[in-house]
Amino acid sequence: MALDTLGGEDWLVHLAPVLVLLATAMALFLADAIDPDTSNHPAVAGITLLGVLGALGAAVARLLGVGPDIGASLFAGQLVADHAAVLFTVIVTSVTALVVVGSYDYLEDVAHKGAFYSLTLLAATGMVLMAHANSLATVFVALELASLPSYALVAFLKHDRGSVEAGLKYFLIGALSSAIFVYGVSLVYAATGSLLLPEVAAAITEGVDQTGVLGLGVLTMVAGFGFKVASVPFHFWAPEAYEGAPASISGFVSSASKAAGFAIAFRVFTTGFPLEAMQDAGIDWVMVFGVLAVLTMLLGNLAAAVQDNVKRMLAYSSIAHAGYVLIALAALDVGGTYNELVLAGGMLHLFVYGFMNTGAFLFVALAEHWDVGRTFEDYAGLGREAPVACGAVTVMVFSLAGLPVGGGFWSKFMLFAGAVGNGVWWFAAIGGLASAVSLFYYWRLVRALWIDEPTDGGHDIDSTPVALYGAIVVAALVTVVLLGAIGPASEVAHDAAAGLLG
Amino acid sequence: MIIEALLAVAILGGFAVLLVPDRYAGKLAFGASLGPLAGSLWMLWEFDGDGNLLFDAGARAFESDLSGTTILPVGPYDVQWIAALDGISLPLVVLSTVLTTLAIVSAWTPIDERQSQFYGLVLFMEAALIGVFAALDFFVWFVFWEGVLVPMVLLIGIWGGPRRKYAAIKFFVYTNVASLVMFVGFVLLLVGLGDAVTSFSLPEVTQAIHDDQLTSLYGLSPEELATVAFFAMFAGFAVKVPIVPVHTWLPDAHVEAPTPVSVLLAGVLLKMGTYALLRFNFTMLPEVAAANAELIAAIAVISIIYGAMLALAQRDLKRIVAYSSVSSMGYVILGLVAYTVYGVGGATFQMLSHGLISGLLFMTVGVIYNATHTRMVGDMSGLADRMPIATWVFVAGAFAYMGLPLMSGFAAELFVFLGAFGAEGLQYSPIFTAAGMFGIVIVAGYLLAAMQRSIFGPFYLETDYEIGRAPFHDVAPLFVLLGLIVVLGVAPEVVFDMVEGATEPIVENANGGGV
């Protein structure tokens, strides 16, 4: 293949994070073949972490200006390495790093550790590729590469009925949603004659004869995305999957996988289906996302408020957050001055969310490690025995609620401000209301940890899983630091949004 | 850099205290709080500014090079770091640092579990308080505003009394809903200003509003928009102050909170509400305030009288002091709405004076409780016999509250009444003032009654505790506060000149140039 088809001689640099992740996953396969029992767990975990941090470092280095300018079309336009791709690479790899570190103690007594790490890395590779995919074909392939290992990871505790059930459910629904999605892709292809997003956009701008076919295709693709990002009414698999999966994997799937889903949703809809041309054709996808956003915010938060199980509460809260991010698409407007802001807000929210949500799920992993129990009552009084971890999770859930103790405040604020600026203030109003509801159930966790008395004489905390602790504390620290230092991250998000909006 | 340094010392101190074992936490927190205290006193000494932050860029004292740094661009707007002080905010910063240090010392006796967390949260709250008074960008200010709330709710919820869960959630819900309402009000103003502002800086917003840049919005004329925003913000801040009828969280929070937390709650947190009212409502939207002056004055007088009557009906010393705060904050509102130099200046002075006096009374009640394990007026009698120092200080504090000349309460109330009596913009101002002055009679009534029953007379104690000597570190803060109260009473001009310099522009602006 000629170099210029690859995207010039810099293609290795542009794809460095993807390649590092892929190479590490392959290396782990090799290691697993030589040592199937993973007799040296620290080494395997270390290699994994090194690979993930390498990919993260490569992506951050690109943002800091190392190498050629960001923004390249690779493999004849199948992949694109722009700011959005790099930003989502950072999101996915930082979540993966937290999950890898946090899983170390969790995996102590579990067989097939090598497989766990390589599956995680393969899923991460798929998610990073999703961020780079610029044609409906690569979008689909990357999506499957991310999904298949995720199914296995959710069912990883194969002697635990809940985990297996969650994996099966996740797999069946996931397969169905992939089928729906690929059906939508085929309809769009039928209407526009191309799979490359820019060509799809060009065809739509010129005018499409079969608008009905195109409309149906877009609608089914929205449904496919809805499944992937767990938006109401396509969310019903998520609580079971998140609750049954190992807690660190719940964090991985609900943060990284969601972010990657949004990465393709943002790119496909803003660059592939240009708003103005689509509205001329009578296909108003903004309105569809608006309905999804409102439903998801309201139902996600209300359902979270009635849970007694902490992990399930976090699962529903994760659904609710998909609703906030959907505002980024729902508040777009032809020629709207605040388009860039609201889209950047969505990306930034996914970035901050990656830390605070993963951290919160890792806290649940810690509680599972200690056999604390599942409900709020079981968590009562934990703050006395594990103040550091409880302090960290307090900061993270308050930040999830949007209180200004963490970066979550700014990203929510950008989303709401963008919605108000574009004249669709009701999204901000509903989002504010939903955040107020969310304060109720996050407060329940904080109250249980710090204020309530333990029900049966306290917990039996006999170990300090250092790696898990470290991951939780790092996640909390990043969340807090982002309150003051949100500027650089928002700059990147603005660049990314501007790139997508053209 | 001094403001940033104060914030950094308080925050880093808070982290350091969280990490040390419980037995060193109290001492270390005291040491850490000396940094902001010394810094703020130095600023008070060095301060030679004049004018109001929101009107005059020249009035920004202690502004550092960091000021103006963009934190986050939001569309055409910028969220900026702007921190500076003037004659209104500097005394309040000093009040915060003084009361934080004293509250930490007074916590050494009553707080005996999870100490490092307690003191860590107190220091975080101190940082947020300094930030509230110093920040001049709306969103940064809002971050600090909410940042005070989170530690407070945990302080009440974890270290509070038997009904602490109820008190904490009530405080949390009330103040959060209030913040939301206030936030919406301010955002309405921002949207109404449209392109006239490019940042969320309070001076810029103030300037734009005064230049009549408000536009019609959602079918509301600029005047109606200003009125809606005014009352949304008023309602939000009224909860914090608190004003009758949104005061009901306050007695619960106060009674359940441990003494040092009550000191900070009454001493500084309530002032956040009045400070914000002064900065936002009464400085930015004077026309609306003037148009509704009678209504606001009526609310103030109702708060004064009703709060005092509620205090009269209580049997718990802490509840008495708590309700009397509702009454005292009414004077602040009355002074603000008068729009005279003495009215607005007196209101600001009353914030300081009440912070010191109510802090003193809460601390004294705490000392009495530590010894007797009761706060009920009927459970004790003749305490002066066994606890002469604490009861003597309580009597002195009570007289300060009643407005004994040569104590700060007298100067504050005198300024407010002088200012309100002759207020030209306020119809029936003599009647409002007279009604407000009647509040003092009730104050004297309940304080004298409480003292007569619990402090004087033959000694009797229902709980039968052996009353020993209070440790030095319990008593020392009382005398520091008493000393400050007397200094401000004897020489109010020490602070009042500074306050006047910053409040005069507000009055001038509201009265169209004249004073």
Ordered DSSP codes for B423-484? -SSSTTHHHHHHHHHHHHHHHHHHHHHHHHHHTSSS-EETT-----PPPHHHHHHHHHHHHH
Question: Can you tell me the distance from the alpha carbon of A442 to that of A399, in angstroms, rounded to the nearest whole number?
Answer: 10
Phi and psi of A73, rounded to 5°? Answer: -100, 125
Residues of chain A with Cβ-Cβ distance to B177 below 8 Å are 436
Contact between A370 and A454 (Cβ < 8 Å): no
- Tell me which residue of A481, A355, A349, A479 sits closest to A415, measured CA to CA: A349
pLDDT at B496 over 80: yes
CB-nearest partner of A384 from B114, B146, B187:
B114
Q: Which residue of B has its CA nearest to A432?
A: B180
- Tell me which residue of A227, A398, A386, A250 sits closest to A314, measured CA to CA: A250
Q: Does A367 touch chain B (CB under 8 A)?
A: no
CB-nearest partner of A409 from B143, B158, B177:
B143
- Which structure tokens are listed for A89? 């690479």
Which of the listed ranges A471-480, B169-178, B370-379 does the model predict with the highest average pLDDT? A471-480
Q: Does B157 touch chain A (CB under 8 A)?
A: yes
Place of tokens 């940890």: A449
pLDDT at B429 over 50: yes
Q: pLDDT tens digits for A98-126?
A: 999 999 988 888 888 889 999 999 999 99
Report domain extents, chain B.
292-515
Question: Can you tell me the distance from the alpha carbon of A348 to that of B73, in angstroms, rounded to the nearest whole number?
Answer: 13
| Contact map slice: B 110-149 vs A, CB within 8 A | 114, 117, 139, 142-143, 146-147, 149
- Tell me which residue of A330, A306, A304 sits closest to A317, measured CA to CA: A304
Contact between A245 and A154 (Cβ < 8 Å): yes
Q: What angle do CA A276, A278, A281 make, to 5 degrees?
A: 115
pLDDT of residue A464: 85
pLDDT of residue A66: 86
pLDDT of residue A5: 61
Q: pLDDT tens digits for B361-374?
A: 999 999 999 888 88
- Neighbouring CB atoms inside 10 A of B333's CB total 29
Q: pLDDT tens digits for B243-284?
A: 988 899 999 999 999 999 999 999 999 999 999 999 999 999
| Contact map slice: A 64-103 vs B, CB within 8 A | none
CA B273 vs. chain centroid, Å, equals 7
- Which structure tokens are listed for B19? 């990490």
Cis check: omega of the bond before B242, within 30 degrees of 0 = yes
pLDDT of residue A1: 47
Q: Does B470 touch chain A (CB under 8 A)?
A: no
Q: pLDDT tens digits for A389-440?
A: 999 999 999 999 998 889 999 999 999 999 988 889 899 999 999 998 999 9
Question: Can you tell me the distance from the alpha carbon of B254 to that of B266, in angstroms, rounded to the nearest whole number?
Answer: 8
pLDDT at B146 over 80: yes
At position B275, the amino acid (one-letter code) is Y
pLDDT of residue B103: 95
What is the H or E stretch that residue B113 is in?
Answer: none
Residues of chain A with Cβ-Cβ distance to B117 below 8 Å are 387, 391
Question: Can you tell me the distance from the alpha carbon of A216 to that of B451, in angstroms, rounded to the nearest whole number?
Answer: 80
- Tell me which residue of B248, B223, B239 sits closest to B277, measured CA to CA: B239
CA dihedral (A247, A253, A254, A255) positive or negative: positive
Which candidate in B154, B173, B200 is best for mutational testing of the A interface (most A CBs within 10 A)? B154
Three-state SS at A132: helix
pLDDT of residue B427: 85
Which candidate in A412, A443, A494 is best for mutational testing of the B interface (most B CBs within 10 A)? A443
At position A166, the amino acid (one-letter code) is A
pLDDT > 90 fraction of chain B, expressed in percent and rounded: 59
- Which structure tokens are listed for A107? 């995996």
CB-nearest partner of A439 from B72, B176, B191:
B176
- Looking at the predicted complex, does its ipTM rise above 0.90? no
pLDDT of residue A341: 93
Three-state SS at B78: strand
Q: Which residue has the higher pLDDT, A456 or B297?
A: B297
Cβ of A483 and B117 within 8 Å? no
pLDDT of residue A6: 61
| Contact map slice: B 346-385 vs A, CB within 8 A | none
Q: What is the mean pLDDT of each run of 10 residues along chain A (502 residues)?
A: 60 91 93 84 92 96 89 89 95 97 87 90 96 95 95 91 92 93 95 94 90 93 92 90 92 94 95 90 91 96 94 95 96 90 95 96 92 90 89 95 91 92 90 91 92 78 88 95 90 94 86
Q: Does A414 touch chain B (CB under 8 A)?
A: yes
The mean predicted confidence, pLDDT, of chain B is: 90
Question: Can you tell me the distance from the alpha carbon of B85 to that of B3, in angstroms, rounded to the nearest whole number?
Answer: 9
| Contact map slice: B 69-88 vs A, CB within 8 A | 70-76
Bridge partners, residue B137, by sequence: B201
